[in-house]
A and B are shown apart, each in its own frame.
Chain A
Amino acid sequence: MRYWSLLFALAAIISVGIFAYAPISPEWWLPAGPNVSAGHLHSVSSAGKQIDSLFVIILLITGIVFIGTQVALVYATYFFVDKGPNGRKASYFHGSQRLEVIWTIIPAAILVFIALYQMGTWASVKFRSAAPKVQPLAQVTARQFQWVIRYPGEDGKLETKDDLFMVNDLHFVKGKQALIYLKSSDVLHSFFLPALRIKQDAVPGLTIPVWFDTDQAGHYELVCAELCGWGHYKMRGNVTVHETQEEFDQWLQSALKEQSRDQVAAVVTGSQGR
């Protein structure tokens, strides 16, 4: 019956194969930026780069441990099963202090290493003191089931008369730190930009600063990552990253112009797509 061990080996080999294949395929790896041809292995945001490196380290550690334990398991089941009447009889013994100390200390050391190693990343992504000292991009208020986004108008200050109100439409500029204030007007939501590896819960009663950047212009996705009610699946937003500040300003101007519209559109377009 030693061939059973080959079945186990097969499962392990498939797992390792997937593990090895994942980085090659953009579909299987972590979410990439809008321009996939520019390479998908490196995240497009500076927080993402740090977070991904942690991810890769953990993946390597668990990968090595996985391969090691699988080799040992398959080896033991293949060679020591079915030794027949001539083989040495298996013996039972209770406890081995040396073995137990080793298998406690090694994982503990790995855990302590990971815990210490990630602290810098956590601090730079989440600590309020690490928030960039820039003008806020917007105030984002989550509500069932949409993102209400309020940009400071030309005066750069929020909560003033020239604020721009948008729904589900987040704009910022490539290569610049964007700082938003995240709020919720009803229940828990979670502001999630998968490609930028930014995820932050929106908590009723709290105003939470969130900051992010990217080195790739284009369209991204904003989703809600906290089950917030029956319409959770609808809670998505469009994120547009502009190539230059001028492009962003242009967009802001046109949006403000639309918001202050006092006339019926010159021509109501009859484009019904038929």
Chain B
Amino acid sequence: MTSRLRFVLIAGSISFLLTGCGDAFNAGTISYKDSEQFTKKQKDTPDLDGKPQLQEAVRKALADLFGPRPQEIKVPAGSGFPEGGRYLANYEKVGDGVQDIVYTEANSGKKVAVVGGYGLYRKYCLHCHGVQGAGDGPTAEFLYPLPRDYRRGVFKFTSTAPSNPKPTRADLKKTITHGLHGTSMPAFEALMSGSEIEQVIDYVIFLSMRGEVERNLISIAALVDKDDINGITADDIKESLDTVVNNWKATETLVVSPKARRTEPTRESVLRGRDIFLGKKFGTGQPVACTDCHGLHAKGDGSSFVERNIFDKVVFRRKSLDTAIEERYKELGDEHKSAQWQPGGHGGGHDSASSELPETFDAYKNRETTNWDKGSKDDWGNPLRAANLNLGVYKGGRRPIDLYWRIAKGINGAKMPAHGNLLPDDQIWDVVNFILALPYEPDLLKDAEQIKKSVTAAPAVTQR
């Protein structure tokens, strides 16, 4: 009876389609990928190239501390996470085994099954941030700016100081809840509940710890001879872990709190902020160099950065830096030539000598290449630009306190330095007021050139 057989097949496939595959995002195994420092020769960081024994030792140490696979989470003792990986995955350690955990909601007393940070991360975050949090998920390559690589333990927008401090849980929560405007990081407030976001924060910290311990161990192992039988010791491992864990634990005490309340955003304050932005020195403050990066008109086109046009060609059109510079130089030459044909343009169009750019190609290429290498990369080696402050888009948040933190303590891992020791708090607030006013009053910087000249010509100016 072939028709009966066919019926069975069809009915079977229909029922399969109907039952579907719930939780499919957690199906299948995934595994941590080694950091590129393991096997590839690195330029600026230590590596374990050609040291297979040490590579194995570091892998083993990581597996002992954090578990061999994302599905098999271990929590290093003293890391601050509850034993057994509770809240990281949906199980906890009970005696010798593990069991699924149920979470009792504080206010309602309702019992909810916990998906766990791992499951949530896998559903919402992994496709950009990657299995080990290296910012290398499958969708990462379509994005600019690139997703954060947690493994350095450096996060751009924190409320903490001094240099490259860990974010507080509140900082991470803000980023996940509200997203980072102007980047591809979306807001997750409508997708996850408060307790789910806490679980994701736990998992992000876990991945960051794992990544940083990996880096530390590689740094230690890189100094060890490749045939050394002892390799890395238990003390080395403990030390690598303790530094990282202690930094994360200390972070809540490092929050920077402004000493003064925000100055009322009066006209005077805004104008004072503008003059500070343009380099004027007031009272006890030091002159600051905002325009070097953000540009005289705050369009993010300062001279310390590679030209916008070249940046776009390299980052968005994926051209090589040399091609981009060559093309741009040619474009500039064409613009220069056509400008001479305009009525009122100086120089005769027929005279080929005067149609040349004031700068030679070599000088131009040299300058832009230096700007690209020195100025236009963040600590992760990714291309970076100063913000255009006319748009009213503030990645780290638009609250005055957020902008205060950006100015006073800089942006970790990026080129924005801390100004807390150069400007007193009231002057930082003036700059905050100016930055918040600028998108609505673009005329504030209309005469930036003249103002800059007059404010920097003041005799009180000393070098930064």
A contact set with B: CB distance below 8 Å: 144-146, 148, 159-161, 165, 167-169, 222, 230-231, 234-238, 258-265, 268, 272-274
Contacts and interface: CB of A to CB of B under 8 A. Distances in A.
A264 B189 contact: no
A168 B187 contact: yes
A261 B159 CA distance: 13
A8 B82 CA distance: 61
Contacts, number: 85
Interface in B235-267: 252, 255-258, 261-262
B399 A274 contact: no
Contacts of A259: 398-399
B403 to A, nearest CB: 9
A263 B190 contact: no
Given A262-B258, A273-B195, 13 more contacts: A146-B186, A160-B440, A161-B440, A167-B187, A230-B127, A234-B124, A260-B399, A261-B401, A262-B399, A262-B400, A264-B255, A272-B198, A273-B103
Interface in B176-227: 178-179, 181, 184, 186-191, 194-195, 198-199, 201-202
A60 to B, nearest CB: 29
B437 interface: yes
A33 to B, nearest CB: 18
Contacts of A260: 262, 399-400
A268 B187 contact: no
28 contacts: A145-B186, A146-B179, A146-B186, A146-B187, A161-B437, A165-B398, A167-B179, A167-B181, A168-B189, A231-B184, A236-B191, A237-B190, A238-B189, A259-B399, A261-B399, A262-B262, A262-B429, A263-B258, A263-B261, A264-B255, A264-B257, A264-B258, A264-B401, A265-B170, A268-B168, A268-B255, A273-B194, A273-B195
Contacts of A238: 189-190
A167 B189 contact: yes
B318 to A, nearest CB: 19
Contacts of B233: none
Main secondary structure of the interface of A (DSSP, over half): loop
B155 interface: no
Contacts of B188: 234
Given A168-B189, A261-B400, A161 B170 contact: no
Nearest to A144: B184
Contacts of A148: 181
Contacts of B429: 262
Interface residues of B, number: 45
Contacts of B142: 230
Interface string B71-100: 000000000001000110000000000000
A161 B444 CA distance: 15
A154 to B, nearest CB: 15
B26 interface: no
B313 interface: no
A98 to B, nearest CB: 40
Contacts of A146: 179, 186-187
B400 A234 contact: no
B328 interface: no
Given A167-B181, A231-B186, A268-B255, A258 B440 contact: no
B348 to A, nearest CB: 43
A160 B195 CA distance: 36
A197 B201 CA distance: 36
Contacts of B124: 234
Contacts of A230: 127, 139, 142
A145 B187 CA distance: 8
Nearest to B263: A262
A234 to B, nearest CB: 6
A240 to B, nearest CB: 11
B169 interface: yes
Nearest to A161: B440
Nearest to A170: B190
Contacts of B106: 273
A74 to B, nearest CB: 21
Contacts of B186: 145-146, 231, 234-235
Contact of B401 (A235, A262, A272, A274): A262
Closest 6 A/B residue pairs (Cβ): A262-B262, A167-B187, A262-B400, A168-B190, A273-B195, A273-B198
A263 B184 CA distance: 28
Nearest to B405: A264
B436 interface: yes
Contacts of B189: 167-169, 238
Nearest to B103: A273
A202 to B, nearest CB: 16
B181 A236 contact: no
Contact of B170 (A222, A268, A273, A274): A268
B404 interface: yes
A91 B264 CA distance: 95
A167 B401 CA distance: 19
B127 A234 contact: no
Interface string B90-116: 000000000000010010000000000
Interface string B371-412: 000000000000000000000000000111100100000000
B127 A161 contact: no
A34 to B, nearest CB: 15
